[in-house]
Amino acid sequence: MIELLRRFGGKFRRYMVIGPACKLIEVIFDLLTPLVIAQMIDKGIGSHDVNAVIHYGMVLGAMAVIGISFTLVCQKMAALTSQGMGTDIRGALYEHINKLSYTELDRFGTPSLITRITNDVNQVQLAVALGVRMLIRWPFLAVSSMCAALAIDLKLGVIFLICTPAIGLVFWFVMARCIPYYRQLQAKLDRIALICREGLSGARVVRAFVREDHERERFAQAADDQANTAIAVGKLSSILNPVTFLVMNLGVCAILWVGGIQVNVGELTQGQVMAFVNYMTQTLTSIVYVANLVVVFTKASASASRINEVLNCEPSITDEGNQSVALPKPGNVAPVPALSLSHVSFSFGAGAANAVNDVTLELPLGKTLGIIGGTGSGKSTLVSLIPRLYDASAGTVRVFGRDVRAWNLDQLRGVIGMVPQRATLMSGTIRSNLAWRQRTCFMDDVLWDALETAQAADFVRDLPDGLDAPVEAGGKNFSGGQRQRLTIARALVEYPQILVMDDSASALDVKTDAALRRAVRELAGKTPVFSRGIPMTTVIVSQRVSTVRDADMICVLDHGSVAGLGTHDELYTTCQLYREICQSQLRREELEGQQGSAMPASAPSPASAPAAPASVCAKEGC
């Protein structure tokens, strides 16, 4: 909590000084109130002097008005401080989260990050507001009331010395057991957020498999677990107020008993006894409120530590100190390759098996690389290393001859058009999604050209608003194939020098997929003026042979390792795994076209070979 105050409280320092100062003035009036009441009782009521009662009543009224005025100022300062700090913390969290690499995002998890940026910040805001308003008031009021009461009569002060430690013991007993629960509560809120996100985002799948009851039960279990913890801490907290008020009321009874005897013998006046009762009530009430403040601050401390955990997490991928890279000039005598990987390996965390293992390949400018393999073979992981979404654990990834670690991240991701496996659109319009990078003010012709290439122009023209048609969050108002084509168009708008399509046509029919690949090849051959004269290099990830067979180079992956590298004809001849994939997907006529003198004698004929699944591992002979 202190770390957050140091980091974000600087510009609110004056509010954090003015607020408690105003509250301190209010507390002074609260301390004077019992003395004024004592004078009213002794000089007004005791002497039957109406004028004295009116006089002291007017003094009390004036003190109340002044106290309320300073309280309102304090409330204003508390609101400005808490809301301002909360806004700054959320902004800093969101900005920092967007700087984290996929490695850190995978470690925290999306539900936990959402809980931290909402619920945890709310807890900190509440603590800051109560800190400005109450942190000075109650401790100062408790100590000052005790001193004022002891100044009235030392004998009655013994009651204070008994009641105060008794309340402190109750407070320690309760809080020592509550603090661990508060930390557990935040973690269990993360679990509820995770289940909510899975259930709501996957609502179609849940209904398709008739798993509503299972999801409701799973949510109920998580909610009950969180509720049981909250109830347990609530039961402990519920002890605090009744016990403290019991001690306080017993103390008041003792003061009235002993004070009554002293009034009878003339050692104290009735007003002094009432003032003593008021001071004791203020002292013990203040202790109760201090206990409640500690509960709030304990929750805020747990939340602050979770917020600091994110803010203090250094992104593993940065471009600090990197300079802009000079892109290759057209017409070079010895042009550098567009993409080269040298003994590249990657694993998700220490001790995990390599998802990509010792991959080496080189792709010239303007050429197309197809990547194919079974499910879980590391295709998406491999292409994620190109725009540096992850950093390779070993080896080197180079773009235009320069290690990706030496690139400025904005420039690197500016020359690479990434079409992710999961088609994601942002709420807004088709136009705002296509112009997502917002680097230039795109003319409509540029957007339509991208839509034509992505085979999306026809259905966009059919929409009533065309380019200005609304897009719901995640593109839920479009079909899967439409979303994929729109994300492809979004990547093509600025004519990237390297286009990476990560299985981004899986929802398209064969005819549309073929038209898309043909249009992308034609676009790559045009080399528009605004492409700096660099022909577009394409990387296509797919599980379809038909999608990658026309690529200049095909990389066959098997459990993260390269099982084959070459053209379609070469791989069909030399790589058994690729041949098995072809046999499981291509028609007999297409396979017979691949036969001939190039087919090794040991290879099974298409007529007799079983249709092996693409995930079969068979690297022998590759």
**What 3-state class would DSSP assign to 355?**
strand
Task: Find out whether 12 and 25 touch, Cβ atoms under 8 Å.
Answer: no
Least Cα distance to 91 among 311, 265, 296 occurs for 311
Q: List b or e across 468-478, with b for residues whose CB sees 16 or more CB atoms inside 10 angstroms.
A: ebebeeebeeb
Least Cα distance to 118 among 99, 146, 93 occurs for 93
Residues 307 and 388 in one domain: no
Alpha-helical segments (H) within 135-211: 137-152, 154-201, 203-208
pLDDT tens, 455-472?
Answer: 999 999 999 999 999 998
The Cα 558–Cα 581 span in angstroms is: 12
H or E stretch covering 62: helix 50-99
Q: List b or e across 240-263, with b for residues whose CB sees 16 or more CB atoms inside 10 angstroms.
A: beebbeebbeebbebbeebbeebb
**Which of 538, 566, 594 lies at the terminal end of a domain, its last residue?**
566
**Which of 518, 548, 566 lies at the terminal end of a domain, its last residue?**
566
Residues 44 and 133 in one domain: yes
User: What's residue 612's pLDDT?
Assistant: 35
Question: Is residue 604 one of the residues assigned to a domain?
Answer: no
This prediction's pTM: 0.70
The Cα 559–Cα 561 span in angstroms is: 6
User: What's residue 265's pLDDT?
Assistant: 78
Q: Which of 176-180, 225-229, 314-318 has the lowest mean pLDDT?
A: 176-180
Question: Is residue 618 one of the residues assigned to a domain?
Answer: no
CATH number of the domain bearing residue 554: 3.40.50.300
The Cα 207–Cα 192 span in angstroms is: 20
Question: Is residue 596 one of the residues assigned to a domain?
Answer: no
SS3 string, 534-599, reads: CCCEEEEECCCHHHHCCCCEEEEEECCEEEEEECHHHHHHHCHHHHHHHHHHCCHHHHHHHCCCCC
Number of domains in the chain: 2
**pLDDT of 538 over the 80 cut:** yes
- Read off the pLDDT of each residue in 291-316 and give the average, rounded to a whole number: 85
Those residues whose C-beta lies under 8 Å from the C-beta of residue 222, and which sit 6 or more positions away, are 188, 191, 192, 195
The Cα 588–Cα 605 span in angstroms is: 10
**pLDDT of 77 over the 90 cut:** yes
Question: Is residue 603 one of the residues assigned to a domain?
Answer: no
Domain of 400?
339-566
Residues 303 and 345 in one domain: no
Question: Is residue 606 one of the residues assigned to a domain?
Answer: no
Residues 125 and 164 in one domain: yes
Residues 168 and 207 in one domain: yes
pLDDT averaged over the chain?
A: 82
Those residues whose C-beta lies under 8 Å from the C-beta of residue 454, and which sit 6 or more positions away, are 485, 486, 488, 489, 492, 516, 519
Q: Residue with structure tokens 């694993």?
A: 347
The Cα 93–Cα 126 span in angstroms is: 18
pLDDT tens, 107-144?
Answer: 888 878 888 898 889 999 999 998 888 888 878 887 88
Give the DSSP per-residue string, 309-352: HHHT---S---TT--PPPPPPTT-SSPPPSEEEEEEEEESSTTP
